[in-house]
């Protein structure tokens, strides 16, 4: 949850716990997306929307570090994660089978804010940025939000997270899709759909590649009637996940908040402790996009 403009809300490390769970199900969703469900009672009982867990499913020292994943949804003592194989850690995670052990450290990070509950929530998901949203959508609805729309974008139709998994049985949740190649829904960027669905009562929640989030920031900045608030969930290379290694520092506007003059320059904030969710105006977008690709041990 982000704090008021100019303030920083740090993750609550008091809730994080190391636990070893059991994989219950590994589902191939299409387009390389995989949903892993595991019995992780502590994480399931405590994770809030937008928070993440550091996962490890391997015994050896390669890769050395746990890998961060958003908690996609929880049900009873079960938690789910959505991912795809992009490197050594994710390859081992998607190779898990029911009955295998999955170690989780979490919940970590600060989640999305929905108190007070918005009159209208616009959830903008790009590719694997879908991961935190089933849990957020459910929380918004349970908090009484009458109007939740998910804008779901991906490169192709096969890579769209299934609309029904955002809704999880709630017919009151609208899902509109966009694909770069036009194979499903609107042909073009998911951010094309934002302007016509935003008003002063809306809170925007977004997660996706940094370049998509930067495009969203620029779309929102150009609106005649900006949303009440916009929160983005960012990614950074992570070592520890709880503020000690300093590997996840991201550029933010010094002073923070929408009213801070840009000439105050850039500061650094830890993605794992004052993120991954940040108010859109807090992020120093040009500097973020200029960061070199990261290597994680």
CA distance 105 to 101: 13
Q: Which C-beta is closer to ligand FES: that of 65 or that of 194? A: 65
For residue 177, the minimal CB distance to ligand FAD (Å) is 19
Number of residues that bind ligand FES (CB under 6 A): 12
44 binds ligand FES (CB under 6 A): no
Cα-Cα-Cα-Cα dihedral sign, residues 232, 130, 159, 45: positive
Q: Which C-beta is closer to ligand FAD: that of 68 or that of 226? A: 68
The region of 9-17, 164-172, 185-193, 238-246 touching ligand FES under the rule CB under 6 A is: 238-246
For residue 274, the minimal CB distance to ligand FES (Å) is 10
> Which of the listed partners (ligand FES, ligand FAD, none) does 38 bind, with a CB threshold of 5 to 8 Å by partner kind?
none
Q: Which C-beta is closer to ligand FAD: that of 81 or that of 226? A: 81
Could you tell me if 217 and 280 are in contact, meaning their C-beta atoms sit under 8 angstroms apart?
yes
Task: Specify the long-range contacts of residues 54-60, CB closer than 8 Å, at least 24 apart.
Answer: 54/104, 54/105, 54/106, 54/108, 54/238, 54/240, 54/241, 55/81, 55/93, 55/102, 55/103, 55/104, 56/102, 56/103, 57/92, 57/93, 57/96, 57/100, 57/101, 57/102, 57/103, 58/89, 58/92
CA distance 118 to 158: 32
Q: Which C-beta is closer to ligand FAD: that of 83 or that of 214? A: 83
247 binds ligand FES (CB under 6 A): yes
Could you tell me if 216 and 233 are in contact, meaning their C-beta atoms sit under 8 angstroms apart?
no
270 binds ligand FES (CB under 6 A): yes
Number of CB atoms found within 10 A of residue 179's CB:
22
The region of 118-126, 137-145, 200-208, 236-244 touching ligand FES under the rule CB under 6 A is: 236-244
Which positions lie near ligand FAD, rule CB under 6 A?
Answer: 52, 63, 67-70, 81-84, 86-90, 109, 128, 131, 235-238, 271, 276, 293-294, 296
Buried residues in 2-31 as b, exposed as e (16+ CB within 10 A): bbeeeebbebbeebbeebebebbebeebee
The region of 35-43, 150-158, 237-245, 284-292 touching ligand FES under the rule CB under 6 A is: 237-245
The region of 112-120, 156-164, 178-186, 235-243 touching ligand FES under the rule CB under 6 A is: 235-243
> Which of the listed partners (ligand FAD, ligand FES, none) does 86 bind, with a CB threshold of 5 to 8 Å by partner kind?
ligand FAD
CA distance 165 to 53: 20
Q: Which C-beta is closer to ligand FAD: that of 131 or that of 280? A: 131
For residue 297, the minimal CB distance to ligand FES (Å) is 12
How far is the CA of 106 from the CAs of 52, 168, 211, in angstroms? 7, 23, 27
Q: Which C-beta is closer to ligand FES: that of 83 or that of 236? A: 236
Structure tokens at 193: 């759909």
Binder among 7, 27, 88, 244 for ligand FES (CB under 6 A)? 244
Binding site for ligand FES (CB under 6 A): 238-241, 243-248, 270, 272
């Amino acid at each position: 949850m982000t704090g008021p403009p100019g303030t920083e809300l740090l993750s609550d490390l008091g809730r994080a716990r190391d636990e070893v769970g059991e994989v219950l199900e590994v589902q191939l969703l299409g387009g390389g997306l995989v949903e892993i469900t595991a019995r992780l009672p502590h994480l399931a009982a405590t994770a809030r929307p937008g928070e993440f867990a550091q996962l490890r499913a391997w015994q050896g020292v390669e890769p050395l570090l746990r890998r961060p994943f958003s908690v996609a949804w929880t049900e009873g003592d079960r938690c789910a994660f959505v991912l795809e194989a992009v490197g050594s850690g994710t390859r081992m995670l998607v190779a898990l089978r029911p009955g295998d052990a999955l170690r989780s450290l979490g919940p970590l990070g600060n989640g999305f804010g929905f108190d007070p509950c918005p009159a209208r929530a616009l959830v903008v998901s790009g590719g694997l940025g879908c991961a935190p949203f089933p849990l957020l959508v459910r929380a918004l609805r349970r908090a009484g939000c009458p109007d939740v729309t998910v804008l779901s974008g991906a490169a192709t139709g096969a890579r769209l997270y299934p609309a029904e998994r955002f809704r999880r049985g709630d017919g009151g949740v609208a899902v509109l899709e966009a694909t770069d190649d036009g194979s499903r829904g609107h042909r073009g960027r998911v951010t094309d759909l934002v302007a016509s669905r935003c008003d002063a009562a809306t809170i925007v929640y977004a997660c996706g590649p940094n370049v998509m989030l930067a495009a969203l920031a620029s779309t929102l900045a150009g609106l005649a009637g900006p949303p009440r608030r916009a929160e983005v969930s960012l990614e950074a290379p992570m070592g520890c996940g709880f503020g000690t290694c300093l590997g996840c520092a991201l550029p933010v506007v010094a002073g923070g908040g929408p009213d801070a003059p840009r000439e105050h320059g850039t500061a650094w904030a830890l993605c794992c402790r004052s993120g991954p969710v940040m108010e859109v105006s807090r992020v120093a977008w040009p500097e973020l996009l200029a960061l070199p690709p990261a290597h994680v041990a």
